[in-house]
Structure 1
Amino acid sequence: MNKINELSYNIKIRNTLYFEAAIGLSGNSFLLLFQVFKFIRGQRPRLTDPPIILLALIHLLMLLVMSLVASDIFMPGKRWSDSTCKFVMFLYRFFRSLSLCATSLLSILQAITLSPRNSCLAKFKHKSPYHMLGCLLFLSIFYSSISSPLIKYIAAIPNLTSPGFIYITQSCCLVPISYSVWNTFYTLFTLRDVIFVGLMAISSAYMVTFLYRHKKQSQFLHSTNRSLKSSPEHRATQSILCLMSFFVVMYTLDSVISYLRNPSNDPIFYFIVILVGHSYASVSPFLVLSTEKHVIHILKCYGRTVDI
């Protein structure tokens, strides 16, 4: 009876994670289609459009891998092999690193877009948006190269488990790591994340300062805030600032939960880890779309049709 209750409990947890993944997959797919539609219409791409497209694609793949990991945690079937564990966990970590790199780059590019003509950042405005993808690739390789050596410590769970093994999923575990090696990894991970989050914080602070000064100038000239609200650059900036704020909150929660990692196989702990760790991927497309003028217009027209 206990096994039946545990199975039913795990199914509910798994379905909750699948529901989060379904929302995220739908939102990111719609964001990708919206960007493709803009391209088909011949609209000139903004500097931040390629990172937004890539971020949506990264989150699509990340949520698919998350669903695969969740299925092995809460509804185990056939056990994965050692190579499958390494490959799936590599993808799991790789897409998370791409998400952080793309988000940091998006914040930096929006700050460049807002920079005045006499600024040292102005020269980057004339670069093609697609040239920035090379920068993203470099950042992603740098980010992933630090965590890649950890993959060799991931293995399929042996038949005779040892107390030194750390449970990841029903099929995969982390083999025992010496204290010095683990501290080295932890220090490198912390420094790496501080660099990227720090760049994000600096660019976000720059954007907030710019918006504040612009608002003060508008009030000083006795003008309305209509130009501030109608400007595509300012709408995009507000959207990206909301994105950055949400990312920092979720990233902080994820870091705290990971630091307080429970070595037991409690499904609630893993449920919270996965739910919090992928909230940004699920919510971010809706934050981006919420300030797109064409999307808002379509929703208003749809609302009027429903009322009629």
Structure 2
Amino acid sequence: MSKANLLHTDTNMKITLFSEVSVGISANTILFFARLCKLLGENRPKPIDLYIAFLSLTQLMLLITMGLIAVDMFMPWERWDSTTCQLLIYLHRLLRGLTLCATCLLNVLWTITLSPRSSCLTKFKHKSLHNISGAFLFFCVLYVSFSSHVLVSIIATPNLTSEDFVYVTHSCSLLPMSYSRENRFATLMAIRETFLISLMALSSGYMVALLWRHKKQVQYLHSTSLSSKASPEQRATRTILLLMSFFVVLYTLERLVFQSRLKFKDCSIFYFVHIIVSHSYATVSPFVFICTEKHIIKFWESTFGRIVNI
């Protein structure tokens, strides 16, 4: 397995991947604890805060799992057994799916929350948390069932290597699937991801329309000397649109790299780039929340201020 050998010996790949994982874990940890403190300090927590906290926790667990897998790629001290391979790879696949699901539902929830009273979405505001939670539980069950084939497809890499086995990590390999079974799973994954991406696109388009209409209203009322400073709703809309645009760009790039990886099966470069791109959103997205929300910055400034004074 030439791919495994190159990954073990390439120091630049090792540094890049562990740097991405370390930065992502730190950023998601900061975001999660900031949101958790805000939730605990409020009598009636906002659904958006709850879902941002959940998204950051999911991404944190995803990056920790990726870190463990990376250790077996670059620093294989001892081989894992089949049970360890199955559990870690399955957990990683599941967390990646839940991250996509949580991002989509957060986008929908944000759209419902920011919609004006005259909008057709107003009737969903008072029960949006229950509806979104129910949808999320449904997708959890769906992702668990869709990823269940990993439990029987992943095995510990045998001592005698074979071209039939697909490299996953130093210790783990993927059993070859039949053409019909592979197509069936690929079709199910495509339907699932197309639905979620389409839902995000629709909600993002709706928010763009709201933002444009609000801008026109501000221009019309500008003569009344109203402040041209962006409102909290505008800043929130721009934040989620920035996140969704970044997500769509990375998702498209990941699909292109993945197809190239399938075409050039022995090329470790595409394998490595696919790993980096597929975890970039989980690493970068918490910085968008941290930099655009003042209460998080104030929270950490006060926290570090107390530590310095001690």
Aligned residue for 2:155, secondary structure, equals strand
Change (3 A) 1:300 1:268: same
Shift of residue 44 of structure 1? 4.5
1:70-109 residue pairs with structure 2 within 5 A? Answer: 70-109=70-109
Change (3 A) 1:299 1:50: closer
1:290 aligns with 2:291: yes
The answer on whether the counterparts of 1:239 and 1:290 sit within 8 Å (CA) in structure 2 is no
Gaps of 5+ in 1: 303-308
Separation in structure 2 between the aligned mates of residue 7 and residue 150 of structure 1, nearest angstrom: 23
Q: Which residue of 2 aligns with 1:258?
A: 258
Letter aligned with residue 180 of structure 1: S
Separation in structure 2 between the aligned mates of residue 48 and residue 228 of structure 1, nearest angstrom: 23
Q: Which residue of 2 aligns with 1:187?
A: 187
Shift of residue 240 of structure 1? 1.1
Percent identity over the alignment? 47
Letter aligned with residue 232 of structure 1: P
Change (3 A) 1:200 1:206: same
Change (3 A) 1:188 1:54: same
Deviations 1:150-176 (A, max 9, x none): 431111111222221111111111112
Q: Which residue of 2 aligns with 1:306?
A: none
Q: Which residue of 2 aligns with 1:216?
A: 216
Separation in structure 2 between the aligned mates of residue 7 and residue 105 of structure 1, nearest angstrom: 36
1:152-191 residue pairs with structure 2 within 5 A? Answer: 152-191=152-191
Bigger drift between 150-159 and 64-73 goes to 150-159
Bigger drift between 233-242 and 186-195 goes to 233-242
The answer on whether the counterparts of 2:39 and 2:50 sit within 8 Å (CA) in structure 1 is no
Q: Which residue of 1 aligns with 2:233?
A: 233
Aligned residue for 2:83, secondary structure, equals helix
Q: Which residue of 1 aligns with 2:64?
A: 64
Q: Which residue of 1 aligns with 2:308?
A: none
Q: Which residue of 2 aligns with 1:271?
A: 272
Shift of residue 128 of structure 1? 6.8
Separation in structure 1 between the aligned mates of residue 225 and residue 51 of structure 2, nearest angstrom: 32
Change (3 A) 1:6 1:256: closer
- TM-score, length basis structure 2: 0.87
Number of aligned residues: 296
The answer on whether the counterparts of 2:89 and 2:150 sit within 8 Å (CA) in structure 1 is no
Deviations 1:167-209 (A, max 9, x none): 1111111112111111111111111100001101100000011
Separation in structure 1 between the aligned mates of residue 9 and residue 162 of structure 2, nearest angstrom: 27
Letter aligned with residue 90 of structure 1: Y
- TM-score, length basis structure 1: 0.87
Separation in structure 1 between the aligned mates of residue 64 and residue 36 of structure 2, nearest angstrom: 21
Shift of residue 29 of structure 1? 1.0
Shift of residue 7 of structure 1? 8.2
Separation in structure 2 between the aligned mates of residue 77 and residue 57 of structure 1, nearest angstrom: 29
